[in-house]
Amino acid sequence: MSTPIPTSIPEPNAESRALPGYRALLAVDAKDFTGLASIQHSAVSMVIPELVDRALTEAGLTELRDAKSFPANTGDGIVFGFDPGYLPFVVFPFLRVLDGLLGRHNGQYVTARLRLRASVHVGPLSEPDGNGTARNDTHRLLDSRPVKAILATPGTERATHLAAIVSDRVYEDVVLGGYTGLRPEHFIEVPATVPGKPFAQRAWLYIPSPSGHLLRNGIIAAIEEPEAAPDAGEDAARPAVPEAPPSQQPGAGHTQRVGQGNAVIGNVTGGISSNFGVPGTAQ
């Protein structure tokens, strides 16, 4: 039975109402999807949920995998909600397992390479559709300049498979709160902005497999430089590395208790295969 169309739009702050429950979100998005040949679009749409489900399984999150809320295929990715209690496990080990799957796949295939970006966020969302500001912000984080710039940096093409961005709320509750297996030192504070959109938030980058180029030149330098041309090589001029802001120091900020979270992932280039580097299953 379809949900009835509301007859009126609520007026903000006109009266007190119950706060919707906090939900976590995971969204996955394909890098340069529009640049792929039309024949590849359907394969990309199918391979992303398969990859995410396998990573959830290998990370020991089968209950999360089987209990997705308001799942949706966006064409170039997927999005679904989950119980916020799983947030610490999505931050770690899920993101690292996903990076490992990509590395195994990319080590076997020359043309069918997958590179993803991910965002993790948390906030109140209405049921059953999962609509709300937190969901919008999850996608804005995924599309923000810092996480895109990492995968566009020369020299990362065959080493950096996944770039993840975590909202400040998740960082404070899950990382600074000590609930996940990653330490504050694994994250770098960045200003998350989206060109042409009224969006600007403090967020935190996590790169499971930084390339030698990123380690040599600095991740902050990479995201502050103009986006590099795709064919630029490792010998591109080395930019100056700015001093890390004080808020990047371990323990910076305060802790806020939040019940649930959001996560987004996405970026694919080249041909597509759904085998993810499993021996004996190459097509």
Residue 89 Cα distances to 26, 29, 78, 223, 239, angstroms? 12, 20, 19, 27, 35
**For 82, how many CA atoms within 13 A lie in the half-sphere containing its CB?**
25
Region 259-273: mean pLDDT is 50
E strand map for 172-220? 188-193, 200-206
Structure-token pair, residue 216: 């040599």
pLDDT, the chain, mean: 80
Q: How far is 161 from 163, CA to CA, in rounded Å? A: 7
The single-letter code of the amino acid at 243 is E
Reduced to 3 states (helix: H, G, I; strand: E, B; else coil), residue 114 is strand
pLDDT surpassing 60 at residue 37:
yes
Handedness of CA 130, 133, 134, 135 (dihedral sign): positive
**Phi, psi at residue 80, to the nearest 5°?**
-155, 160
% the chain with pLDDT above 70? 76
- Please enumerate in sequence order all residues whose Cβ is within 8 A of that of 43, keeping only pairs 6 or more positions apart, or say none: 272, 274
- pLDDT (tens digit, 9 = 90+) per residue, 116-141? 899 999 999 988 889 999 999 999 99
- pLDDT (tens digit, 9 = 90+) per residue, 80-89? 899 999 999 9
Structure-token pair, residue 32: 């340069």
pLDDT surpassing 70 at residue 283:
no
pLDDT surpassing 90 at residue 184:
yes
Partners of 192 in the β-ladder: 201
- pLDDT (tens digit, 9 = 90+) per residue, 50-59? 889 999 999 9
pLDDT surpassing 50 at residue 3:
yes
pLDDT surpassing 70 at residue 73:
yes
Residue whose C-alpha is closest to residue 189's, from 174, 201, 204:
204
Region 26-39: mean pLDDT is 78
Cis ω before 128 (30° cut-off from 0): yes
- Please enumerate in sequence order all residues whose Cβ is within 8 A of that of 80, keeping only pairs 6 or more positions apart, or say none: 25, 26, 27, 68, 69, 70, 71, 72
pTM of the model: 0.79
pLDDT surpassing 80 at residue 267:
no
Mean pLDDT lowest among 59-63, 137-141, 178-182, 235-239: 235-239
Q: Are strands 22-30 and 77-82 parallel, antiparallel or unpaired?
A: antiparallel
DSSP character at residue 277:
T
Radius of gyration (Cα) for the chain, nearest Å?
19
Structure-token pair, residue 267: 């970026």
The residues spanned by each domain of the chain are: 28-165+183-230+250-266
Q: How far is 74 from 135, CA to CA, in rounded Å? A: 13
